[in-house]
Chain A
């Protein structure tokens, strides 16, 4: 099993204690040993990684570091299946901008991490390539939808990973697997080459062993990209610059709506521990209110499914992806190719999304949801007049068992209540693990910041991480 953060391995590489080729082989060995039991990866191209390792430039900030990549981010020449049968034979014709940037920083994309199909799911169970186990709590879900990214990092099969977060898909699996997950501000990281789920919500970000690694990866990832019209022109900064600095006097809001009695006791305890540690560090904890907190799941699932039904219309069996055989005309080809290629949760969301956009229902559902979204964003704007950051749970419970936990789709959706708001409002959010007693399932806490405040968000997260350790 592979242990050690990005900075650990960078030191090993730059001092010559290990070569990039040996490090890739080390990661590959770990995958080959552990993946059959965990199923964190759908595929991995060792030859491509070794070829990149042979040319690795150790003078670059991430020189020689292999990074696992969620299966919905394109790597040229490699499969990008989104854990869906419909893309079973697809190979990316180009690199996503996030991959181009990782390569430019010296990193080596290695391994396609399992996920919920098209990033639709909260527990990693919706993959066409099998469920993923949670290395930090065997027999339990790793969370989702970046299930494989989190499990690979937690299970010693990756030093760090990229995921995508539409409603919590980086932060929630990070919390369930006991690692760090960062969703940057909407627009911070280019989404060119990320297979679109819900375009007004999707964001790429890192899943890492610690906060410093998240900052190191964000350094490589962010910056304007003319290939993504939603990518921000906000100047990139060195996100490691503020790590280790004092957080004395920082105001941290605790939304009363997030302290629900419905939360698992371990989750409530983790938030209380974080409050105590942050207070000891000199932060001021302020009770705040987010009056529309209970509306977020309803607004989110309308918006996300509406956008998904439109985005996934590209899977038509014509230009790429699965095509049904012996079809009778174009409509039959579309309808049967999609029926054969998509899994149940994807179909369910396409139906919901198509419905809320259909004539007669658009205003009642889609426009209404976007108005409520504006109210949610206004809640945050008002809160950030009072405080610098917001603290809360990541998920209402620790990871559920893989077997015997039958939840209705609505129950699954409701579990996203604490992660969805950051996506609706476009805010950055980070999940930081809160150490648990031996044998207990991991639990993380979440910090949210203002738009583009990642450098300071990471500073507070790092201080909290050190205090919790």
Chain B
């Protein structure tokens, strides 16, 4: 595994997280140090090892599909920073045709 330098500004865009230039700079330094430590994982040979995404062998746990009560509309939007007519209010996401 070649040690890449993390491009914090680009990753911040992917994460939809605005960073100040100070944050970008300090996170670059911090995370490059962390990634240098992480590079040691290379020394462990794992071609035959199945990745362990879950600590216990529980798969496809589904409950019966039975209709039941859930949050009321009022409760569901009670924490919304902006709501209108029982719905979340969001900025315009579709531009009108020109």
Chain A residues with CB under 8 Å of chain B are 89-91, 93-94, 185-187, 200-201, 226, 229-230, 232, 292, 294-295, 297-299, 301-302, 309, 313, 316-323, 327, 329-331, 333-336, 338-339, 342, 344, 347-348, 350-352, 354-355, 358, 361, 364-365, 367-375, 377, 408-410, 413-414, 423-426, 451
Whether B51 lies near A425 (C-beta < 8 A) is no
- A329-B93, A354-B11 are known; give 13 further A-B pairs, CB within 8 A: A93-B79, A94-B71, A94-B75, A185-B56, A186-B55, A295-B44, A327-B91, A329-B91, A334-B16, A351-B31, A367-B51, A372-B46, A410-B30
Whole-angstrom distance between the Cβ of A225 and the nearest chain B Cβ: 10
Cα–Cα distance between A201 and B82 once the two chains are bound (Å): 33
Whether A230 lies near B61 (C-beta < 8 A) is yes
Cα–Cα distance between A373 and B96 once the two chains are bound (Å): 50
Q: Hey, which chain A residues are within 8 Å of B18, CB to CB?
A: 335-336, 338-339
7 contacts across the A-B interface (CB closer than 8 A): A187-B56, A201-B55, A313-B16, A320-B79, A323-B82, A352-B31, A375-B44
B31 closest partner in A (C-beta): A352
Whether A377 lies near B52 (C-beta < 8 A) is yes
Whether B55 lies near A426 (C-beta < 8 A) is yes
Whole-angstrom distance between the Cβ of A420 and the nearest chain B Cβ: 12
Whether B27 lies near A348 (C-beta < 8 A) is yes
Q: Hey, which chain B residues are within 8 Å of A318, CB to CB?
A: 80-81, 88, 90
Cα–Cα distance between A123 and B31 once the two chains are bound (Å): 20
1/0 per position for B62-98, CB-CB distance to A under 8 A? 1100000001000111111110000010111100000
Cα–Cα distance between A334 and B11 once the two chains are bound (Å): 15
Given contacts A410-B30, A424-B55, A426-B55, contact A331 B16 (CB under 8 A): yes
Whether A347 lies near B14 (C-beta < 8 A) is no
B38 closest partner in A (C-beta): A298
Q: Hey, which chain A residues are within 8 Å of B50, CB to CB?
A: 371, 374
Cα–Cα distance between A384 and B4 once the two chains are bound (Å): 38
- Majority SS of interface residues in chain A? helix
Whole-angstrom distance between the Cβ of A131 and the nearest chain B Cβ: 20
Whole-angstrom distance between the Cβ of A395 and the nearest chain B Cβ: 18
Q: Hey, which chain A residues are within 8 Å of B27, CB to CB?
A: 347-348, 351
Cα–Cα distance between A350 and B19 once the two chains are bound (Å): 12
Cβ of B21 under 8 Å from chain A: no
Q: Hey, which chain A residues are within 8 Å of B8, CB to CB?
A: 351
Cα–Cα distance between A232 and B61 once the two chains are bound (Å): 10
Q: Hey, which chain B residues are within 8 Å of A229, CB to CB?
A: 58, 61-63
Whether B53 lies near A409 (C-beta < 8 A) is no
Q: Hey, which chain A residues are within 8 Å of B58, CB to CB?
A: 187, 229-230, 232
Whether A351 lies near B12 (C-beta < 8 A) is yes
Cα–Cα distance between A327 and B76 once the two chains are bound (Å): 24
Whether B17 lies near A93 (C-beta < 8 A) is no
Whether A339 lies near B79 (C-beta < 8 A) is no
Question: Most chain-A Cβ atoms within 10 A of its Cβ — which of B19, B30, B58, B81?
Answer: B81
In chain B, positions 1-60 with a C-beta closer than 8 Å to chain A are: 1, 4, 6, 8, 11-12, 14-19, 23, 27, 30-31, 33-34, 37-38, 40-42, 44, 46, 49-56, 58
Cα–Cα distance between A457 and B65 once the two chains are bound (Å): 37
Q: Hey, which chain A residues are within 8 Å of B88, CB to CB?
A: 318-319
Whole-angstrom distance between the Cβ of B22 and the nearest chain A Cβ: 10
Q: Hey, which chain A residues are within 8 Å of B12, CB to CB?
A: 351
Whether B52 lies near A373 (C-beta < 8 A) is yes
Whether A186 lies near B62 (C-beta < 8 A) is no
Cα–Cα distance between A351 and B13 once the two chains are bound (Å): 10
Given contacts A348-B31, A358-B14, A371-B49, contact A200 B54 (CB under 8 A): yes
Q: Hey, which chain B residues are within 8 Å of A351, CB to CB?
A: 6, 8, 11-12, 15, 17, 19, 27, 31
Q: Hey, which chain B residues are within 8 Å of A294, CB to CB?
A: 40
Q: Hey, which chain A residues are within 8 Å of B44, CB to CB?
A: 292, 295, 371-372, 375
B44 closest partner in A (C-beta): A372
Q: Which of B19, B37, B56, B76 contacts A339 (CB 8 A)?
A: B19
